[in-house]
Amino acid sequence: MKRAATRGTRKGSFDRPQHDHARCIADALQSAGTVCAAQGVRLTEQRRRVLELVWQSHRPIGAYEILDQLTDGSGRRAAPPTVYRALDFLLEHGLIHRVESRNAFIGCSHPGTEHVVEIMLCTDCGRAAEIDDQRIDRAVRAVAAEIGFRIERQTIEIAGRCGHCQARPAHA
């Protein structure tokens, strides 16, 4: 289960604003199915819907934003545990990532593969991009090794302005 990782327009950087995002969503859902099948867990309808909502854009989305959109057919809003349980499942199986500095979530850009999560966040358009580069991780590991620190988890979130937004006046 390595091949779904680099499909679509996802390339470890910020997509063009006009990219075919329906494709991003479709790819994410398909990969999720594959990952869950491989791990012998169930991608239930509820979980699939939450994943789809997370992927509705490249902006980190909060649990309660998801909640507001998660009506149960007859328009009744779900309760918090419903969405948090789905999010926990998706986190555990590497289908989404938590953005700590925002209390929000983004879809994982390379599900089914082991990787350190490194995220860039545009403060202008609000979008996030998962970085796919070994250098930061290598630097972190070098520093940790020197002071005898055994790494368990890395939270790397870089806020700033993406290339597309720099090419325009702010907040345009």
Partner DNA sequence: AGTGTATTGTTATACTATATCAAGAACAAC
Partner DNA sequence: GTTGTTCTTGATATAGTATAACAATACACT
Instruction: Supply the minimum distance, in Å, between the C-beta of residue 15 and Zn ion.
Output: 5
The DSSP line for 51-110 is HHHHTTSSS-B-HHHHHHH-B-SSSPBPPHHHHHHHHHHHHHTTSEEEEGGGTEEEE-SS
End-to-end CA distance of the chain: 40
x/- contact string, 59-98, with DNA (CB under 7 A)? ---xxx-------x---x-xxxxx-xxx-xx---------
Binding mask 66-105 for its own copies (x = CB under 8 A): ----------------------------------xx----
Q: Which amino acid is at 164?
A: H
Residue from 5, 7, 12, 21 in contact with Zn ion (CB under 5 A): 21
List the structure tokens of 38.
């491989």
Q: Does residue 133 belong to the site contacting its own copies (CB under 8 A)?
A: yes
Q: Which of 79, 117, 113 is nearest to 93 (CA)?
A: 113
Q: Is 35 in the site for Zn ion (CB under 5 A)?
A: no
Tell me 113's DSSP state: S
- Asked if 161 touches its own copies (CB under 8 A), the answer is yes
The contact pattern for its own copies, residues 43-62, with x = CB under 8 A and - = no contact, is --------------------
Provide the 3-class DSSP secondary structure of residue 118: strand
Binding-site ranges for its own copies (CB under 8 A) = 12-14, 100-101, 118, 120, 122-123, 129, 131, 133, 135-136, 138-140, 142-144, 147-163, 166
